[in-house]
Amino acid sequence: MSFEVSSLCDSIDKMMQKHLPLEEVRRRDAAGEPPDHLLEVFADMGLFRLVMSEKEGGLGGSWEQLSIIQERLGYHATMAALLYNRVTCFGMMTLITSGSPTQKQAWIPKLLAGKGAFALALSEAEAGSDAGALQTRAVKSGKNWKITGRKIWISGAKAALQMVVAARTDSKSRGGKGVTLFLVSPDAKGISMTPLEKIGNRCSLSYDIGFDEVLVSDEARLGVIGEGFDCLKKTLFYARSGLASAVVGTAQAAVDAALAHARERKQFGQSIGRFQVLAHRLAHMQTDVDLARLLTRELAKSIDAGKDCTRLSAQAKLVTTETLKTITEQGMQIMASAGYAAESDMQRYWRDARLYTFGEGSSEILLDLIAQDIGVGRGI
C-alpha cells in the first residue's frame, strides 16, 4: 500500500468515526435510514475524483487504490461502501465507459459534488440475475423511446439522480443481444415504485418499479442500440469489484468481532480462544478473508491493466460473498446467544451477507459465466 493510500485510509477511519460511528450504524440499520449525508463528505474528501484522470480534473487514482478504499468503507459499514459504489460504479464508470459527451457533461459534475448517486435497474421478477432473460421493452417512438416493463429489487432507485435501465430494443432477440441501456429519471411520468421490506441491508432501500410507456429521448440512450449488454458488462466489472472489496471489509469486521468474543469469553477458567478447535476455526476464517482479499486485488490490477475481466470479476464476487456468508455463520456459532442478540453486530453481518450471494449476479449465474469461459456448461 502506498503512503498516499495508507494516509487516505487513515482519513477514512477518522471520517467514519465522526460521520458514521458504530452506534449510528446500528441506529440507521434498525430504522432503515440510508447514510446519504456521506455523499457530500465523500465528495469533500475527493473520493469520487479518484476514478478520473488528472487531465479530466480527477486525481488519477488506480482501481487498486479504489479497491482498498472500498474495503475500508466496508469494514466500518457496508451501507457506506454500497452508497460509494453506486456513485463510482453505477454512475461514474458507466458514464466514462458508455456515456456520450452530453451525458458526461450533465451528470459527472453532480456525481463528483456528492449531489446523488445512480441506480442500476437490471433485475426482473422473471429473469432474476440473468441479464440475458430480461423482458422490459423499449420501443422507438419518433425520436424518443417508450419503456414498458417491470424491475424488482432495485436499490437506491427513488433517491437516484438517474437509473441505468436495461431494456430489450429488438423484440426478436434473445439472451444478451438486442438489449440497450437508458438513463431514466426516477421521477419520469409512467414510473411507479413500491418499497420492499428486507431482513438485511435495511439502509439500502429497494423497490419494485413499474414502467408504463415511460418516454425518454434518444439522448438518454447509453451506447449503441442493441449493444447494451456489452456496456453492462463493463459496468459490472467495476460494480462486482467494488462489491467484492466492500464484502472483504465486512468479512474482516466479522472475524474481528468473533476474535474479540473468543478472547473475552471465559469457560473453565480460560478464554475460549485458547481451545484448539476454536482457535483453528478462527485461523481458517482469517485465512479465507486473506485469500478473498488477494482475489479482489488481482481483479483491481487486471482492471487497471485493461484486461477482459469477465471471469475474474465473476470469481471475485463469487468467492468474497460466499466467504462472507460462511464466516458470518461461523461467527454466529462462535458467539452463540451473544451473536444472536439484537445489539450484536454479528447478526447484522449475518443478515446482510444473505443478499450478496444473489445481488448483482447470483452465485449460480456467476458459476455459469465461469463455466462458459473455461469451455463447459450451457451455451457451449
- Higher pLDDT pick, 31 / 268: 31
Q: What is the mean pLDDT of residues 331-349?
A: 91
Q: What is the mean pLDDT of residues 146-170?
A: 96
- Higher pLDDT pick, 191 / 174: 191
146 contacts 214 by C-beta, under 8 angstroms: yes
Q: What is the mean pLDDT of residues 183-207?
A: 95
List pLDDT tens digits, range 343-372. 899 999 999 999 999 877 789 889 998 998
Residues 145, 237: Cα–Cα separation, whole Å: 27
- Higher pLDDT pick, 63 / 176: 63
**Cβ burial 96-130 (10 Å sphere, 16+ → b, else e):** bbbbeeebeebbbeebbebebbbbbbbbbeebbbb
Reported as a pLDDT band with limits 50, 70 and 90, residue 2 is very low
List the CATH code of the domain at 229-373: 1.20.140.10
Nearest of 224, 13, 206, 205 to residue 123 by alpha carbon: 206
Give the architecture-level CATH label for domain 120-227. Beta Barrel (2.40)
Judged by average pLDDT, the poorest of 67-81, 125-139, 163-177, 255-269 is 125-139
Cell numbers found for residue 189: 411520468
Note the pTM of the prediction, 2 decimals.
Answer: 0.92
CATH topology of domain 3-117: Butyryl-Coa Dehydrogenase, subunit A; domain 1 (1.10.540)
The residue extents of the domains of the chain are 3-117, 120-227, 229-373
List pLDDT tens digits, range 25-37. 999 999 999 999 9
**What's the chain's average pLDDT?**
91
Angle subtended at Cα 199 by Cα 194 and Cα 201, rounded to the nearest 5 degrees:
80
Residue 260 has pLDDT above 80, yes or no: yes
Q: Do the two domains 3-117 and 229-373 of this chain adopt the same fold?
A: no
Beta strands 179-184 and 206-217: pairing type? unpaired
Reported as a pLDDT band with limits 50, 70 and 90, residue 377 is confident
Nearest of 215, 95, 205, 220 to residue 158 by alpha carbon: 205
Residue 3 has pLDDT above 60, yes or no: no
Residue 151 has pLDDT above 70, yes or no: yes
Q: What is the mean pLDDT of residues 194-211?
A: 94
SS3 state at 100 = coil
List pLDDT tens digits, range 302-325. 999 999 898 999 999 999 999 999
